[in-house]
Amino acid sequence: GIQVEQSPPDLILQEGANSTLRCNFSDSVNNLQWFHQNPWGQLINLFYIPSGTKQNGRLSATTVATERYSLLYISSSQTTDSGVYFCAVERTGNQFYFGTGTSLTVIP
Amino acid sequence: EAQVTQNPRYLITVTGKKLTVTCSQNMNHEYMSWYRQDPGLGLRQIYYSMNVEVTDKGDVPEGYKVSRKEKRNFPLILESPSPNQTSLYFCASSLSILNTEAFFGQGTRLTVV
């Protein structure tokens, strides 16, 4: 399977700060998605981004497929942004491979 | 609203008592799959289905069964649950196998005692 590494593993931010989360993957992929797992365990779709850049409000993401990495930017963080952020990639068409996640805590 | 719905959200059961976790999607997606999430192990695929009556094993299929008799439903069956199947389970669906966005259900937190 594909190796997916996320960094940093843990991140503590003051409310209002910006951050960048990184996802590196070991092989070419057909699909890449970013998810936010909230404190209740739900996986929320953030971005479907196999390549290029997308923005949604305070969040944006960039995937450089040729260099096998993706970045998730969070600007003006809020306490509701807390949780675990996962990057997941798909290559063979039958499953996603998830990274180990970045645990984000935003303090007021 | 497009969604993947799992039931139940929470379940505590005893060893050996058969249970079914249901998964339903309203997006006419062909591809559905089940994952389990465990601390330190991340999310791992249990089974997947590329279409009606087509299912295959993922990385951790032991102790689980699935069926895909109709496109919208993909239940996960634990014939004889054991404590090592205590986990957070997710169902996912996507339009097709490749190059399409996947949507995940809300999760089912299962405890087997």
Q: Residue A92: pLDDT above 80?
A: no
The one-letter code for the residue type at A10 is D
Q: What is the pLDDT of residue B41?
A: 87
Segment B2-45, tens digit of pLDDT: 899 999 999 999 999 999 999 999 999 999 999 999 998 889 99
Whether residue A94 lies within 8 A of chain B, CB to CB, comes out as yes
Mean predicted lDDT score pLDDT of chain B: 94
Mean pLDDT of chain A: 94
Q: Is the pLDDT of residue B82 over 80?
A: yes
What is the C-alpha to C-alpha distance for residues A104 and A68, in angstroms, rounded to an integer? 23
Mean pLDDT of all residues in A13-28: 96
Chain A interface includes B101 (CB < 8 A): yes
CA distance B79 to B13: 12
Q: Please report, as a single letter, which amino acid is at residue A22.
A: R
Give the closest of B33, B58, B104 to A43, CB-based: B104
**The pLDDT value given to residue A49:** 95
Tokens representing B19? 């249970």
Overall average pLDDT of the B104-113 stretch? 96
Q: Does B97 touch chain A (CB under 8 A)?
A: yes
Q: Which of A28, A32, A15 is nearest to A76 (CA)?
A: A15
Q: To the nearest whole angstrom, how far is the Cα of A19 from the nearest Cα of chain B? A: 23
- Share of residues in chain B with pLDDT > 70 (%): 98
- Range A77-102 average pLDDT: 91
Task: Give the separation between CA B44 and CA A101, rounded to whole angstroms.
Answer: 14
Contact between B109 and B88 under an 8 Å Cβ cutoff? The reply is yes
What pLDDT, on the 0 to 100 scale, is given for residue A72? 98
Give pLDDT, residue B98. 72
Question: Is the pLDDT confidence value at B1 over 90?
Answer: no
Is residue B107 a contact partner of residue B5, using CB atoms and an 8 Å limit? no
Spatial contact of B36 and B46, defined as CB atoms under 8 Å apart? yes
Which of A59-63, B48-52, B94-98 has the weakest average pLDDT?
B94-98
- For residue B99, pLDDT over 80 is answered with no
Residue A29 predicted with pLDDT over 80: yes
Q: Please report residues of A whose CB lies closer than 8 A to that of B47.
A: none
What is the b/e burial string over A46-77, where b = at least 16 CB atoms within 10 angstroms of the residue's CB? Answer: bbbbbeeeeeeeebbbbbebeebbbbbebeeb
Question: Is the confidence at residue A93, as pLDDT, over 80?
Answer: no
pLDDT digits (tens, 9 = 90+) for A30-82: 899 999 999 889 999 999 999 999 999 999 999 999 999 999 999 999 999 99
